[in-house]
Amino acid sequence: MLSVVVFIMDGPAAPLSAEAVVRTLSSLVPAAVEGVVRDVTLAAPAGRAGMRKIADHAGCELVEAGSQPAMFRRAFETVRNPNIFVIRAGRAPEQGFAEELADLLAGGVQSAIMRETPRRFMTRILPGLAPVAGLVARRDPMLRTQAHTLGDLVRNARATTTLRARARFVE
């Protein structure tokens, strides 16, 4: 089983919509039904409007912090399982990711990355260049990091496995 952390990282142009956050959370329901996901924590910048209501309706924890490293740390302290799946809000895992996560955990793999669905010509040709949308990792090493971005978390987890399932944009 996994604990999931959905973190909100607003883009430089505009903040992420509440609908995109909700769509990310709803995409995790099949994994919860399959028994792969145990609990979900929504990590948001402090004072972000509407996040308390979304977390309450989704039945998940809400963690707010003033900085990205503090947000990650507080979220990782909140989760219940030693294995976590961190995903950017505004991304939704494709169908079949729950089964792949279950197989991954059963096989003993402790860290893996999930890439975004290729959207540009170059990432369609070289899908390994698509941005990282999520990370499966052990919680304890993540607690010891001072990560500012998902990329920092990936480097600290030393993930060498890439999931076949992708995450599509839902913004």
Confidence at residue 148, expressed as pLDDT on a 0 to 100 scale? 85
Confidence at residue 44, expressed as pLDDT on a 0 to 100 scale? 93
Confidence at residue 1, expressed as pLDDT on a 0 to 100 scale? 87
Q: Write out the two tokens for 114.
A: 């999930």
Is pLDDT at 13 greater than 70 in this prediction? no
Domains of the chain and CATH, by start:
2-169 (3.90.550.10)
Confidence at residue 124, expressed as pLDDT on a 0 to 100 scale? 78
Region 61-72 average pLDDT: 92
Confidence at residue 12, expressed as pLDDT on a 0 to 100 scale? 56
pTM beyond 0.85: yes
The C-alpha atoms of residue 87 and residue 132 are separated, in whole angstroms, by 9
